[in-house]
């Protein structure tokens, strides 16, 4: 994948601590020859600098529990690559990944999967959005836990997320650079933290450019997930109720953006001739729609890799909860162009 950073090496740790590479190797591989105080410092630095442990650092094969809401279990739009990356990285580090779906009933009754009682687990990764009470139940197990693609404002959890605010800011600046001044936002900001952060990035970009946010061009109201991702009725009613249109809309994800393109085209409007549309995620459909969608490419493989690495560090060395943000990449395609000049 694009945008991967160089891995932290033993030499990097040695330089950071001003010690020899041999001392770092002895500490990391739990061999004699260094003091316990120095070993602790090396392991702490490894945790801080995201040093990735290889198979030779592993002595046993352990189990990691990967929990996902049932509504994304068979997802082929966004999560498939993320699941693959988690399984791949888990195997590389000598662990087993056991992926289990969690139904709404399980969340409501705070029920753990049956598999949890059938074998020992050493850590948990949760993917997507869960009810807050269910996450608290997972914390009660006492196992190290990392959440992926979502974080919880009222809980201090280890989290690996996309840099949603920063990437949304980047996209809105892209539209502004194309001369757009009337830019709307579409996305239920109370549904997920990622949508809320993308809204925040939109707002900051508009403010920094000295542009007003026009409420009539922003659809923020709560929507059930199945409505947002599977039905165009709400978006259609919203568009039909507008007396005027912005020159561009930034949508909180690609599914919404693709629906917007289709609805606008069904109303006789052209994209991007009349209105530019931008999305977020870079799902496969973003290249199949006509025009192809301008969007933010989420580094799904990298999210999975980082989540596993983060969890293993927590299992082996502990540490205070932290959030890791992974930057995306703006992919400029055909759905955005220069704003029309006003008459």
The Cα–Cα gap between 296 and 293 comes to 10
pLDDT of residue 230: 57
What CATH number should be reported for the domain whose range is 10-51? 1.10.260
HSE-CB of 285 using CA atoms within 13 angstroms = 15
Q: Could you tell me the sign of the dihedral formed by the alpha carbons of 76, 200, 324, 7, in that order?
A: positive
The Cα–Cα gap between 213 and 182 comes to 8
Distances 270 to 64, 169, 209, 248, 340 between C-alpha atoms, Å: 49, 25, 26, 12, 12
The Cα–Cα gap between 313 and 319 comes to 8
pLDDT of residue 1: 42
Angle between helices 80-92 and 300-317 (to 10 degrees): 40
pLDDT of residue 237: 92
Alpha helices in 93-140 (DSSP H): 104-108, 115-118, 132-139
* 8 Å CB contact between 126 and 145: yes
* 8 Å CB contact between 254 and 285: yes
HSE-CB of 328 using CA atoms within 13 angstroms = 26
What CATH number should be reported for the domain whose range is 60-162+301-327? 3.40.50.2300
pLDDT of residue 232: 85
Distances 35 to 10, 17, 44, 167 between C-alpha atoms, Å: 18, 14, 14, 44
Are domains 60-162+301-327 and 164-298 of this chain identical in fold? Answer: yes
Distances 320 to 45, 156, 314 between C-alpha atoms, Å: 13, 9, 9
Q: Is 112 helix (H, G, I), strand (E, B) or coil?
A: coil
pLDDT tens per residue, range 27-51:
777 666 778 778 778 877 876 787 7
pLDDT of residue 30: 63
pLDDT tens per residue, range 267-307:
999 999 999 999 999 999 999 999 999 999 999 999 999 99
Q: Are strands 329-331 and 295-297 parallel, antiparallel or unpaired?
A: antiparallel
Q: What torsion do the CA atoms of 88, 89, 94, 95 make, to the nearest 10 degrees?
A: -80
- What residues contact residue 163 under an 8 Å CB cut-off, 6+ apart? 325, 326, 327, 328
Positions of the chain with pLDDT lower than 70, given as ranges:
1-6, 30-32, 47, 53-61, 223-231, 342-343
Q: Which CATH architecture has domain 164-298?
A: 3-Layer(aba) Sandwich (3.40)
Which residue ranges make up each domain of the chain?
Answer: 10-51, 60-162+301-327, 164-298
pLDDT of residue 68: 94
pLDDT of residue 58: 43
């Amino acid at each position: 994948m694009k945008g991967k950073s160089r891995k932290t090496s033993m030499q990097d740790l040695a330089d950071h601590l001003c010690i020899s590479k041999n001392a770092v190797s002895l500490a990391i591989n739990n061999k004699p020859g260094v003091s316990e105080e120095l070993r602790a410092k090396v392991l702490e630095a490894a945790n801080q600098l995201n040093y990735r442990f290889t198979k030779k650092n592993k002595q046993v094969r352990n189990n990691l529990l990967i929990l996902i809401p049932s509504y994304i279990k068979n997802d082929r739009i966004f999560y498939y690559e993320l699941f693959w990356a988690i399984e791949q990285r888990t195997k590389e580090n000598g662990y087993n990944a056991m992926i289990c779906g969690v139904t709404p009933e399980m969340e409501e009754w705070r029920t753990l999967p049956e598999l949890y009682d059938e074998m020992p687990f050493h850590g948990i990764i949760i993917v997507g959005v869960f009810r807050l009470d269910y996450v608290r139940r997972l914390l009660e197990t006492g196992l190290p836990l990392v959440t992926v693609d979502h974080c919880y404002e009222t809980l201090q959890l280890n989290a690996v997320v996309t840099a949603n605010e920063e990437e949304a800011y980047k996209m809105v600046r892209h539209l502004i650079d194309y001369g757009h001044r009337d830019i709307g936002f579409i996305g239920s900001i109370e549904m997920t933290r990622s949508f809320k952060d993308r809204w925040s990035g939109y707002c900051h970009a508009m403010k920094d450019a000295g542009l007003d946010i026009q409420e009539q061009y922003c659809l923020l109201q709560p929507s059930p997930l199945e409505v947002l991702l599977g039905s165009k009725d709400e978006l259609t009613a919203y568009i039909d109720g507008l007396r005027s249109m912005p020159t561009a809309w930034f949508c909180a994800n690609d599914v919404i953006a693709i629906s917007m393109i289709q609805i606008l085209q069904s109303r006789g409007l052209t994209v991007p001739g009349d209105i530019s549309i931008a999305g977020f995620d870079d799902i496969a459909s973003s290249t199949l729609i006509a025009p192809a969608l301008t969007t933010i490419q989420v580094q799904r493989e990298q999210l999975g890799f980082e989540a596993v690495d983060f969890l293993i560090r927590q299992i082996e060395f502990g540490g205070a909860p932290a959030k890791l943000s992974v930057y995306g990449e703006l992919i400029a395609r055909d759905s955005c162009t220069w704003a029309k000049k006003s008459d």
